[in-house]
Amino acid sequence: MGKKDINYVWTDKKRTLFGWPLSFTRYYLTETKFITQRGFLSIDEDEIDLYKITDKKVKRPFFQRMFGCGSIIIYSRDADTPTKEVHCVKNVRAVSDQIDKYLNIMRDRYGIRGRDMIMHDGFHDVDGDGIDDSY
């Protein structure tokens, strides 16, 4: 599957000094996943299903804010990525709103609400199939 086969809702690069996208870290948002891609010759990708996101925080430090950038910290129920920082992207508030929009669409599709993401007695059933999804 190539880049052309995936419909990205939003994409941007991690920005460096002066808000320039001079980095080998790229962020993608699809209707179902948030993807981080790192590397130049060897590429490492990490995906988080949107319905697994439990919370997020927007940070706008002074130097990022000077160049219209900010960072988003995503907290999720993903086994290998419980916390992800989307570092220094343009229009951070609009990106955060887009994540919220598709997060709610995915939660509605799977019938998940915030209370469903809380573990009870070590048993965690995200998709409602009766199987513990806390692996």
Task: Give one DSSP letter per residue of 34-65, joined into a string.
Answer: EEEEE-SSS-EEEEEEGGGEEEEEEE--HHHH
- pLDDT (0 to 100) of residue 95: 97
Q: pTM of the prediction?
A: 0.78
- pLDDT (0 to 100) of residue 134: 57
Going residue by residue through the chain, which has 135 residues, state the pLDDT in tens, using 9 for 90 and above.
455 677 899 999 999 878 888 899 999 999 999 999 999 999 999 999 999 999 999 999 999 999 999 999 999 998 888 999 999 999 999 999 999 999 999 999 988 876 555 554 455 565 555 555 655
What are the residue ranges spanned by the domains of the chain?
3-111
- For domain 3-111, the question of CATH label 2.30.29.30 is answered with yes
